[in-house]
A and B are shown apart, each in its own frame.
Chain A
């Protein structure tokens, strides 16, 4: 009797592809993404083999045909941190490649002493990903992802990348010896949340969603039936949970008072920002220039009244893509 395959060890490596679907050559010392939760690869197909018909000669079912268009969905749960030293072409934030695969354009500013990476919505670059789990190796190519970031305590925010990619059948393999960065990720304390003039809020937590559209490409002209994915648009939204605060009059946002109901009704576009961490080369900031409150949900935490503010991060001009910037500096 053979031993059971175990789930106690896993590993993930991510690397940008030179061209779409080309895959990537992984280097265990450079390409590791520390997955905090088990990266279970969910198998899916563009056609699952089911045939048409529900009644008549098919009333008791009908034998299927083979499946086509295999792809994988895998949630990669991680944390973000900086390079821990001056950014350069080779010194990047730990989530660089997977963030770019979520449809961000990366800009490196390498002016001495103020090096930084900025990520803005753009075309993105697909990634090749190797997932090791259940003593299997899952090879994914042409991967794109959606991004969410959340935190509900003074803790390290969780970055979740919901990845889709072309998948080949798994092979048996042990987890390679992956070297992960040693930089400790910054925590969500002293985040300096700013919405317009409002800076004095008591922030209970936040939940950012990029809401990136990823569209599969059926291809009858290839044996696999699947040509990969296309990145579509995004609708970045931030849910900010703050303690209900004092109202203020027009323009409805002051240093220590805010009226989100009026701001939502007026669709006032405000500058928004918050920052995680304070140490150079190991902090990141999310900024938006046209943040609009679209909904105010009233909640509670014991006797404390809360507002869950649903904030859309929209482009500053029609047709623009400057919804937000994530800066590592």
Chain B
């Protein structure tokens, strides 16, 4: 293991040594990729269930 990166509110990432030796930019990219894309309001909206538009027959 090369480096453990912790950020408040984010997943802890264990960066392997072959990435660590490539330098700070490579580490940042590895951490970002490991954590996945940041959630935006738009993506959260997409996650919400579709409104039920079916008419209910009496």
Contact = CB atoms under 8 A, between A and B. Distances in A.
Contacts of B2: 16, 106, 125
A24 B25 contact: no
B38 to A, nearest CB: 15
B3 to A, nearest CB: 5
A60 B58 CA distance: 115
Given A89-B27, A89-B28, A108 B21 contact: no
B4 to A, nearest CB: 4
A248 interface: no
Chain A: interface residue count, which band? 20 to 34
Contacts of B20: 16, 125
Contacts of B17: 16-19, 125
Interface in B10-27: 17-18, 20-21, 23-25, 27
A18 B18 CA distance: 4
Which size class do B's interface residues fall under? 10 to 19
Nearest to A115: B7
Interface string A3-28: 00000000000011111000010000
Given A107-B6, A111-B8, A89 B24 contact: yes
B5 interface: yes
B12 to A, nearest CB: 9
B42 to A, nearest CB: 24
Interface string B16-57: 011011011101100100000000000000000000000000
A17 B19 CA distance: 10
Given A89-B27, A89-B28, A106 B3 contact: yes
A155 B50 CA distance: 67
Contacts of A268: none
Contacts, number: 56
A106 B14 CA distance: 10
Contacts of B1: 105, 122-123, 125
Contacts of A177: none
Secondary structure type dominating chain A contacts: loop
Contacts of A122: 1
B21 A17 contact: yes
Contacts of B7: 109-111
Contact of A16 (B8, B21, B31): B21
A262 interface: no
Contact of A90 (B18, B21, B24): B24
Interface in A41-95: 88-91
B3 A24 contact: no
Given A16-B17, A19-B18, A125-B17, A108 B4 contact: yes
Contacts of B8: 109, 111
Nearest to A96: B3
29 contacts: A16-B17, A16-B20, A16-B21, A17-B17, A18-B17, A18-B18, A18-B21, A24-B21, A88-B28, A89-B5, A89-B25, A89-B27, A89-B28, A90-B24, A90-B25, A90-B27, A105-B1, A106-B2, A106-B4, A107-B5, A108-B3, A108-B6, A109-B7, A109-B8, A110-B5, A110-B6, A111-B6, A111-B8, A125-B20
Interface of A: 15-19, 24, 88-91, 105-111, 122-123, 125
**Closest 8 interchain pairs by CB?**
A90-B24, A89-B27, A89-B24, A111-B8, A107-B4, A18-B18, A109-B6, A18-B21
